[in-house]
Chain A
Amino acid sequence: MGKLEKHFYDIGLLDTLAGQDTAVHRLDPRAKLITTMVFIVTVLSFGKYVISALVPFVIYPLFLLTAGNLPPGYILKKILLVSPFAVMVGIFNPMLDQNTLLTIGGLSVSGGWISFTSILLRFFLTVGAAMTLLAVTGFHAVCMSLEKLGAPRFFALQLLFLYRYLFVLVDEAVRMVRARSVRVFNGRGMGVAVYGSLLGHLLLRTLDRAQRIHSAMWCRGFDGNIRILKPLSFGRTEYVFMAAWILAFIVLRLANFPVWLGSTVAGIMG
C-alpha cells in the first residue's frame, strides 16, 4: 500500500523531467511518438530465441536517456518496479522447453532459458522506451500529438483530464484507507459492507467534483481545444530524427551486429 502510494507520487517527477529544455525535448512530440512505436514493433518482431540481435537496440532508450538529460537510476527503478510481471509469465518457459540449444563450456542452456532471457530483454527495451519517451515529451504533448495523428479529440481530452484528476482522487483514497485502518481492530470493518459505503462516498464526492470542474471550465471559456506552451512544428529536424532512427532500426533488424562484431574481433585476435 505504502509502496503504491509512493509509486504515484514518483510520477510527478516524470512531468518535471519533461519540462526540461534539451534538443530531444524540443523535438515535435509526434516524431518521438512515431519513432518509439516503430522501435517497439521492431523489437517485438524478433523470433522468440533471439537475444544477441536485440542487444544493440538498447541504443535508442539510452540515447533518449542521455540526450534528454534524464536520471538513469530513476528510470531503471521504475522499470524494475514493474518487472515481476514479466518474470512471472516468462518463468514457465525454462520448465516447458528443456531441449538444449546451446552449450557454453560444458554447461548446457535449454531453449526455455534462452526464450525467457529474450522475454526479459524485450520487456526492458519496450518499457524503457515508453518511460523515456514520456520523460522527454510530457503527457500533455503526447495527448496533443495523439489528437493530431488522428485519435478522436474526445478521447484525447478524456486522457488529459483523467491524468489531471488522478492525483487528487488518489490522495483522497489514500486518506480514506488510512482513516479506516486506524479505526479497524482485528479485521472488523474491513469487509465488503464498509467497503461499499466507503467507495460509494468516494464516488459521490467524485461526481460532485465533476460538476464543479465543469462549471469552472465553463467560466474560463473552455472550448475543447488542448493548448500547450511549446508550439508544434514538424520541420527538418523531426524528419531527420525519424528517418535516421527508423533506418537504424531496419539495419539492426536485418543484420546481427554483436555476432558480426564478435566474429570480426575473433578473426583479428585469431
Chain B
Amino acid sequence: MHMADALISPAVGGTAWAAAAGLIGYSSRKLRDGMDDRRIPLMAVLGAFIFAAQMINFTIPATGSSGHLGGGLILAILLGPYAGFLTLASVLVIQALFFADGGLLALGCNILNLGFFPCFVAYPLLYHKIARDHRRKWLVVTGAMIAAVAALQLGSLAVVTQTFLSGISELPFRTFLLLMQPIHLAIGLVEGLATASVILFVSKAKPEILRGTAGEAQNGPASLRGLVAAFLAFAVIMGGGLSWFASTNPDGLEWSISKTSGKRDLEKPSEDLRAVLGDIQEKTAILPEYGLKQEQRRDSGKPEPGLPTESVVDLGSTVSGLVGVILTLLLAGAAGVLLKWRHTGAGRRVPKGS
C-alpha cells in the first residue's frame, strides 16, 4: 500500500505533505501537553517493534499463504491515537529513507493513508467502542477485525484517489478501485487477526499495559463532532491546495476535466476543450516540426504560455532525441569519472604535500 514517488504528482504529494505535517504537529503538541518522559523511548521501541514484527510470518488459516502485522492499529491500541500516529509516521519515514518503501514526496500520502485512518478513525470510532476493556475475547477479535478492515479500506480508497488525481498511472479509476478494495479486504482481515492475537496475549500476560491507553482514548478525538471538523478542515486544505495547483497548471485541470467527464481515452478530447487549450498549445509549440500529435503534446507536460517547455519537443524528432539522450548520459558519465579522478587525485596529493 506504500505509494511510490514515480506515480504521484507534486500537487497531490505537496498537499498530502502539508496535511501530514499538520497532523504531526498537532499530535506532538497534544502529547507535549500531557508529557510523560517515559513516552519517547516507549514510542521508539514500539516503532522498532513494528519493523521486527513484520519479519515474523504466520500461516493464514484455510489458505496456503502467510501474513504479518501491518502496524497502524496495534500502535493506536497500545499507545493511543496521537502517540500511535507519530510512531507510525516515524516508521514510514524510515521505510521511505532506508528501504525506498514508499517515496519521499509520497511520504505525506503514506502517512495519511496508513497512519491517519487506523489511528484517528478506526481506533477511536470502531475498535475502542467495540472492544472496550479487552476483557472479552470475542469482542477484541471482532473489534480488531472490523477496525482493521475499515482502516485498510479507507486507506486503499485514498491510494486510488491520490493515484487518480496525480494522473501518472494509466489505470482507470474504476478498474484500480476494483483491484485494490478486495485485496485490502483480505489484508485487513489478516491484519485484524494478527492484531487481535497479540492484544489477547498481552491482555492475559500484562493487562495493565492496555489499561493505560484505554482511558486515554477518551481524551482523543473519539467524538464524532471533532472528527467531522477534522475531515472538513482536511477537505478544505485538499480542495484549496489542489485547485491552486490546477489553476497554475492548465494541463492538470484539463486532464481532470476530461477524466471526470467520462472520457477515458485521452486521445480524443472534446472540441470545446481543444478550443480552450489550442491557444496555449500554439504558443508553446516553438518547434512544430518536432511534430507530435496535438493530443500527446497536451498530455506530456506543463504548457505555460511564453515559456519554452520540454514537453512539446520531447520524443518528437526521434533520431536527434535518442542521440541527445545517449550523449547526455555519456557527458554525465564523463563528468562523474572526471570528478572521481580529481577527487582521488586530490586525496593522494594532500598527504604527499603535508
Contacts and interface: CB of A to CB of B under 8 A. Distances in A.
A267 B231 CA distance: 58
Contacts of B337: 66
Interface in B85-103: 86-87, 89-91, 93-94, 96-101, 103
26 contacts: A4-B55, A11-B98, A44-B10, A53-B314, A85-B4, A96-B171, A96-B172, A97-B170, A101-B292, A101-B296, A102-B318, A104-B318, A130-B96, A151-B24, A152-B28, A155-B24, A162-B44, A196-B194, A199-B56, A207-B45, A210-B42, A211-B38, A257-B324, A258-B321, A258-B325, A262-B325
A38 to B, nearest CB: 11
A196 B24 CA distance: 30
Interface of B: 2, 4-10, 13-14, 21, 24-25, 28-29, 31-32, 37-38, 40-49, 51-53, 55-61, 66, 69, 78, 86-87, 89-91, 93-94, 96-101, 103-105, 167-172, 193-194, 197-198, 200-202, 205-206, 209, 251, 267, 290, 292, 296, 299-302, 307-311, 313-325, 327-329, 332-333, 335-337, 339-340, 343
A192 interface: yes
B100 A79 contact: yes
Contacts of A210: 38, 41-42, 44-46
B274 to A, nearest CB: 17
Nearest to B59: A190
A148 interface: no
A67 B327 CA distance: 22
B309 A254 contact: yes
A91 to B, nearest CB: 10
A201 B325 CA distance: 56
Nearest to A176: B56
A40 B89 contact: no
A78 to B, nearest CB: 7
A89 B335 CA distance: 33
B197 A266 contact: no
Given A102-B318, A194-B58, A206-B48, A161 B40 contact: yes
Contacts of B328: 55-56, 257-258, 261
B6 A123 contact: yes
A56 B332 contact: yes
B343 A142 contact: no
B45 A47 contact: no
Contacts of B5: 40, 44, 122-123, 126-127
Nearest to A200: B201
A168 interface: yes
B322 A7 contact: no
A217 interface: yes
A177 B56 contact: yes
A202 B310 contact: no
Given A47-B299, A66-B343, A259-B313, A123 B198 contact: no
A155 B314 contact: no
Given A101-B296, A158-B44, A207 B105 contact: no
A240 interface: no
A155 B28 contact: yes
B168 A119 contact: yes
Contact of A258 (B59, B78, B170, B324): B324
Interface residues of A, number: 123
B339 A67 contact: yes
Given A154-B28, A155-B28, A165 B197 contact: no
B103 A159 contact: no
Best-buried of A153, A160, A161 by chain B (most CB within 10 Å): A161
B336 A62 contact: yes
B86 A177 contact: no
Nearest first, the 3 A-B pairs at minimum CB distance are A262-B324, A196-B197, A200-B201
B32 A154 contact: yes
B317 A119 contact: no
Interface in A242-267: 253-263, 265-266
Interface in A72-121: 78-79, 82, 85-86, 89-90, 92-93, 96-97, 99, 101-104, 111-112, 114-115, 119-120
B241 to A, nearest CB: 14
Most buried by A among B44, B290, B296, B307: B44
Contact of A46 (B29, B40, B89, B310): B310
Given A44-B105, A173-B56, A262-B324, A206 B49 contact: yes
Contacts of A206: 45-46, 48-49, 52
B327 A258 contact: yes
A200 B202 contact: yes
Given A195-B197, A254-B309, A158 B86 contact: yes
Interface string A155-177: 10111111111101110111011
Contact of A172 (B8, B38, B52, B168): B52
